[in-house]
Amino acid sequence: MKKTTATKSTETARKGARFPKRKYREALEGEKPVAWGMARLGGAHAILKALDVIPLYPENYATVCAAKQMSVPYLDLCAGEGLSRYLCGYFRTDVGYLCKYLKEGREPEDAPWGGMAKPDFFLPNWRWKLCDEGVKFFHTLGRYMDVPSYCLDLPVPPSTHNYEEIKDYYIQYIVDQYKELRGFIEKVTGRKMDMDKFEEAVDNTLETNRLWYECHELRKEVPCPMPAQDAWSCLPPGYFWPADKESVEFYRELYEELKYRVANKIGAVPNERYRLLFTEGAPYHSLWIFDYFYEIGAIIVIEGAYYAPGPPPEIPEGADPFYKLALRYWADYEPWLRKAKGSTETWETDRFLDWARDYKCDGGIMHHCLDCRTVSVLLPHIKNVLLRHAYIPCYFLEDCLVDPRDLPPVERIKSEMQAFLEVMDHHKDIRKKKGLPVAHP
Amino acid sequence: MSLQDRSQRAQELRREGKRIIGYFCCYVPLEFLTALDFVPYRIWANMQEPISEANLHFIPTACHYARSCFNNALKGYYDFFDGVVGAKTCDTFDRMFQVWKYVLKPEYSHVVHTPNANHPSSYTFFRSELKTFKKSLERAAGREISDKDLREAIRLHNNNRRLVRQLYEFRKESPPRISGSELAHTVILAMSLPVQESTRMLEEKMGELENRPRPEPVKPRILLWGTPVDDISLIQLIEECGADVVMDDICVGSRHYWPDVAETDDPLDGLVERYMDKLVCPFKFWDVTTTHRQDVEKRYSYLKQYAKEFGADGAIMQVVTYCAIHALDVPDVRDYFHEMGLPVLTLEHDYNVATFSSLRTRVQAFIETLD
Amino acid sequence: MYVLGLDVGSVVTKSVLMDDRKIVFSNTGYSSGDFQSTASAMIDAVLERVDLDGRDSLRVFSTGCGAEMVPSSKAHLNDISCQARGVNYLFPSIRTIIEISGRSTKVIKVDGQGRVVNFATSERCAASSGKFLQLISRITGIDIDRMGEVSLRSKKGVKFTTGCAVFAETEVISRIAEGITVEDILAGVYEIMANKAFNLLRGIEPEGDIAVTGGGAKDSGLVRAIERRLEREVYVPKEPFITAALGAALIGEERLQE
């Protein structure tokens, strides 16, 4: 398929994409300790920042390999390691990378961005109890990199609980672990935490998340000023390094750019006709398929349950910085945890429902990743809920996170998307009759 | 009683006015249910029927075991439940619980949030979480649990577990007087009854076994590792290939019955300890403080003990397709068995008897090498 | 004005020639590996039958997986919309379509105008495609065209424990070895396929009258099994292969009038 550039990418997005490369390079210089963790690091970035530790993310590095068309050789190397083919595609990419690393005794020559610097410790975290595999894989990584670990076990209240009754001890558990983590890192690295630096890093984290949240709020406008590719390009600073001053500046710049676009009604696609919700996991190896969506006037306006931060939390005067950090983390899902009981029973589906309405979506793209159950298990359920409660239809795209060999034939995707436009039209009529918001009547 | 009829007694009890609570996973503290006179009933999957209904809510590449459990519920097999209780352990089960609650709207439901780490703070958290569970059950029952009730329930369950362990003792014999499939059958029924009745059934079984003559001949002895198996077909397949399954590391088995609750002054102390420290499942992330090698030793040293006490000649590691947390431990556990000098066979299966024929030749070949 | 709808499928290519919303002529033939030459052969066959001054005045609209390989096509249309429009033309009361083809099963909901309301497809599942029947035909030694009528003789179909084609294959072999009759086995096989279609259908909450199309609709055993599973009768077009080509011609006519 011809690759086109139907979208008007934001200027800032290009800078966002350069962010990770700088970090991976800095880590390779070897002056600062390095931690390998899971996405969003359980909100603990500021603790690492204050102790001068650089967090790197095997998960993120696998997406870099996918984007650079390097995953296939790594996946092939992993195949000889006795690990099942259905395990996480990111993880298998990393294992392949490590096999090569051990064989060559250093970062492999052809590794994207010079490779992933060796860690001093692992920081697995069970982010919202969503990905057991992402925690567990650090046990397996231990086979290749023998370093100590601290697992951030971040609780998420089940919808069977009375939120008000339990929230205090849930948040306290996060605060306690942040403090334990500090002790752990101090012991492993021999460094002492500078409290002033920590306060500053916490404030940066709060500000990064606030601005990033505001950027997403602007995407509710019609026409939408920012497409999915940009949102994914703009994700690394806030997702991986939010405690850095540069991240705050990055989102401030992005916010200004988006505000200008909104004020001047500049849409990301020239002729916006359909607004889409996308879940889950970007197909980094084949992002160009979205160009086709844009050609037919369909733009993804919000993506993924786990990316966009929630609204800024209310922070009590004079709060302890560890507590502030925990509140920020908690805020990402707080509005939905509060109401999950008795609604659709999961904060994930409640969140999608709110988004589908707030972002005035016409349809959803359910990206069923064959190699990522975490983001895929609930997709049929989400589809049912969106249709039943919001009259929003969904299209299933079956694919893999990192392995381009599993993408269905492009002709089929195009043909099914064409039919899906008719489906969206039909449901748009239903929503109009029911008095529900429709962006493009 | 055949396994197909395992719910008969629970259904009878319900007609008599008892309240039946289905539970997933051995991390649900049953002692609280028993203390309030609820009947805990383990939620089973189904090896004999294909998954049809559950795929309307879950992708087909989600754990076959979890989907099969839900499939049974959607087919109405669990309509006799008054409620369901889950534990936040693996994420597929956790999400299945949420969908279960949305679709089937059980009268009572609760999830016990099990920490997956073992930090000092995890124990404090889990203690609060047990109190939340207790409170929630008390609301459902309309009465409170006294420490005395809870202690009594702990004693009942400890006694029940002790009996199962005694049954396992018969498997140390060579050849064992109780086959692997018979034992699994007994354990599955034991988990489908109120604890008092379960204990009576086990006592009868014990009496019968003591007078049973030793079978012939001596066969290779297998230790079975892996994901839940709540049907005897897989074990029978191994037996038909000419081996005895003498020990397991499975949650419908030793993982559930090995650890007891210490009878402490404050009963919560003993409960926290059992559910935090003593139960084993790969979902738990123990922090690595020294080396990976020592970490594996810490997590799996009990396997060495099992292998020795039960005289295993080989290990079969079985993992239901799409159980990532078990699949990720496969290389480590396999190496660990090898270090003990045990040959290993790894099997991946779809939790459906129709898929077993392809396993048979592999099991046969493996057992031949053990002779 | 003649409009030709051409559905270039992975196994069979179909064509329908229409004039002012009336079917003039239809034709089917096996697709060769080369879609382009398959398409021109089909067009030539039409030209032989119909009096046209030249190829230029035949307006072609293509659909199916080889749609883009038809050089003379005025537009490449998606096969789901075509299927919906074609069935609506034949049976206006139909609101739900099950299309079983060589590669996959599709279920489509349509409105009274033949527009797509919702759809779902089963890819990556051999048990919901014609390929599965070919496989079973090979194992049982019953010709694929006769399997349906043989299965209808069954009094009690085999209950398979799996819904997966790969495992069903081994199960079929062992049932044959157990001495179970071929008709009971075939009835069980059709039940697997009917269940697959039924489950796909439930995902889009079907309503109204139901039609079965595609190559699978020619198989009486399969159609009967689907009816049993749905507990109702279904509509089957006389020529179930050509509905998408018919839809392509209809959409083509509309486009030309616009």
Contact B52 C199 (CB under 8 A): yes
Q: Do A432 and A441 contact (CB within 8 A), yes or no?
A: yes
Contact C199 B56 (CB under 8 A): yes
pLDDT at A129 over 70: no
Q: Which residues of B touch C202 (CB under 8 A)?
A: 56
Q: Quick check: pTM over 0.80?
A: yes
| C197 → chain B, closest CA residue | B52
Asked whether residue B36 is domain-assigned, the answer is yes
| A178 → chain B, closest CA residue | B121
Contact B56 C203 (CB under 8 A): yes
Contact C123 A409 (CB under 8 A): no
Compute the average pLDDT of residues B58-77. Answer: 94
pLDDT at B38 (0 to 100): 97
Asked whether residue B83 is domain-assigned, the answer is yes
Q: Which residues of A touch C80 (CB under 8 A)?
A: 415-416, 418-419
Q: Which residues of A touch B114 (CB under 8 A)?
A: none
Contact A416 C80 (CB under 8 A): yes
Span of B225-229, B298-302, B338-342, C128-132 with lowest mean pLDDT: C128-132
Nearest-by-Cβ selection for C123 from A393, A408, A414: A408
- For chain A, the domains span 12-433
Contact B88 A131 (CB under 8 A): no
pLDDT at B48 (0 to 100): 92
Q: Do C188 and C158 contact (CB within 8 A), yes or no?
A: yes
Q: Which residues of B touch A380 (CB under 8 A)?
A: 55-59
Nearest-by-Cβ selection for C115 from A393, A408, A422: A422
Q: Is A127 helix (H, G, I), strand (E, B) or coil?
A: helix
| A121 → chain B, closest CA residue | B288
B262: nearest Cα among B151, B167, B164? B151
Task: Show the domain range for B43.
Answer: 5-149
Asked whether residue B350 is domain-assigned, the answer is no
The CA distance from A352 to the nearest CA of chain B, in Å, is 15
Domain count, chain B: 1
Span of A366-380, B105-119, B214-228 with lowest mean pLDDT: A366-380
The per-residue pLDDT for range C35-76, each reduced to its tens digit, is 888 898 988 888 888 776 654 578 999 999 888 888 888 999
Confidence of residue B274 (pLDDT cuts 50, 70, 90): very high
| B56 → chain C, closest CA residue | C203
Contact C161 B352 (CB under 8 A): yes
Contact C115 A426 (CB under 8 A): yes
User: Please, which residues bridge with residue B222 across strands?
Assistant: B245, B314
Q: Which residues of C touch B354 (CB under 8 A)?
A: 160-162, 164, 167-168, 170-171
The per-residue pLDDT for range C137-188, each reduced to its tens digit, is 988 999 988 999 999 999 988 888 777 777 778 888 888 888 899 999 999 9
pLDDT at A50 over 60: yes
Q: CA-to-CA distance for A74 and A87, rounded, in angstroms?
A: 14
pLDDT at A8 (0 to 100): 65
The per-residue pLDDT for range A294-353, each reduced to its tens digit, is 888 999 999 876 678 899 999 999 999 999 999 999 998 888 888 877 678 788 888 899
| Site of tokens 């590719």 | A229
| A413 → chain C, closest CA residue | C78
Compute the average pLDDT of residues B207-236. Answer: 95
Task: Tokens for C124, please give them.
Answer: 């990556």
DSSP B17-83: T--EEEE-STTS-HHHHHHTT-EEEEPP--SSS---GGGGTS-TTS-HHHHHHHHHHHTTTTTT-SE
B96: nearest Cα among B48, B140, B64, B126? B64
Amino acid at A432: K
Contact A126 B116 (CB under 8 A): yes
Interface test with C, best of A292, A383, A415 (most C CBs within 10 A): A415
Q: CA-to-CA distance for B77 and B337, rounded, in angstroms?
A: 39
Q: Do B43 and A358 contact (CB within 8 A), yes or no?
A: no
Contact C81 A425 (CB under 8 A): no
The 3-class secondary structure across A179-227, one letter per residue, is HHHHHHHHHHHCCCCCHHHHHHHHHHHHHHHHHHHHHHHHCCCCCCCCC
The per-residue pLDDT for range B308-366, each reduced to its tens digit, is 999 999 999 999 999 999 999 999 999 999 999 999 999 999 999 988 888 999 999 99
For residue B211, how many other CB atoms are within 10 A of its CB? 7
Q: Do C207 and C96 contact (CB within 8 A), yes or no?
A: yes
pLDDT at A408 over 80: no
For residue B36, how many other CB atoms are within 10 A of its CB? 20
Does A418 contact C at CB distance below 8 Å?
yes
pLDDT at C58 (0 to 100): 83
Asked whether residue B298 is domain-assigned, the answer is no
Contact C171 B358 (CB under 8 A): no
- In this prediction the ipTM stands at 0.95
Q: Using CB atoms, which chains have 3+ pairs under 8 A with A?
A: B, C
pLDDT at A3 over 50: no
Asked whether residue B120 is domain-assigned, the answer is yes
pLDDT at B52 (0 to 100): 86
User: Please, which residues bridge with residue B344 across strands?
Assistant: B315
Asked whether residue B354 is domain-assigned, the answer is no
| B353 → chain C, closest CA residue | C161
Q: Which residues of B touch A133 (CB under 8 A)?
A: 91, 324-325, 328
Confidence of residue C124 (pLDDT cuts 50, 70, 90): low
The per-residue pLDDT for range A130-186, each reduced to its tens digit, is 788 989 999 999 999 999 999 999 999 998 999 999 999 999 999 999 999 999 999
| A423 → chain C, closest CA residue | C117
Q: Do A303 and A231 contact (CB within 8 A), yes or no?
A: yes
Q: Do C186 and C140 contact (CB within 8 A), yes or no?
A: yes
Q: Using CB atoms, which chains have 3+ pairs under 8 A with B?
A: A, C
On average, the pLDDT of chain A sits at 90
What's the number of CA atoms in the CB half-sphere (13 Å) around residue A360?
21
pLDDT at A127 (0 to 100): 67
Torsional sign, CA B128, B134, B137, B139: negative
Would you call C47 exposed, middle or buried from its count of C-beta atoms within 10 A (0-12, 13-18, 19+)? Answer: middle
Nearest-by-Cβ selection for B354 from C171, C195, C203: C171
Amino acid at B79: D
Q: Do B292 and B326 contact (CB within 8 A), yes or no?
A: no
Does A440 contact C at CB distance below 8 Å?
no
Task: Tokens for B94, please give them.
Answer: 């956790």
Widest CA span in chain B: 60
Task: Tokens for B292, please give them.
Answer: 């990976």
pLDDT at C236 (0 to 100): 96
Q: CA-to-CA distance for A240 and A61, rounded, in angstroms?
A: 12
pLDDT at C33 (0 to 100): 78
The CA distance from C111 to the nearest CA of chain A, in Å, is 9
Q: Do A108 and A97 contact (CB within 8 A), yes or no?
A: yes
Q: C91 — phi, psi (to 5°)?
A: -130, 90
For residue C231, how many other CB atoms are within 10 A of its CB? 6
Asked whether residue B67 is domain-assigned, the answer is yes
Q: CA-to-CA distance for A393 and A427, rounded, in angstroms?
A: 7
Nearest-by-Cβ selection for A415 from C79, C117, C124: C79
pLDDT at C202 over 50: yes
Widest CA span in chain A: 65
Task: Tokens for B183, please give them.
Answer: 């034992």
Nearest-by-Cβ selection for C199 from B55, B355, B358: B55
Asked whether residue B226 is domain-assigned, the answer is no
Q: What CATH number did the domain enclosing B60 receive?
A: 3.40.50.11890
The residues near C94 (Cβ < 8 Å, ≥ 6 apart) are C87, C88, C110, C208, C209, C210, C211, C235
Contact A380 B101 (CB under 8 A): no
| A126 → chain B, closest CA residue | B116
Q: CA-to-CA distance for B269 and B123, rounded, in angstroms?
A: 10
Interface test with C, best of B47, B56, B351 (most C CBs within 10 A): B56
Within chain B, residue ranges assigned H as helices are 8-15, 30-35, 64-74, 91-104, 120-141, 147-169, 180-190, 195-210, 233-240, 254-257, 267-273, 292-309, 324-340, 357-370
Amino acid at A215: C
| C109 → chain A, closest CA residue | A423
pLDDT at A404 over 80: no
The CA distance from B40 to the nearest CA of chain A, in Å, is 18
Cα C22 to Cα B52, C113, C212, C243, distances in angstroms: 42, 17, 22, 14
Contact B113 A152 (CB under 8 A): no
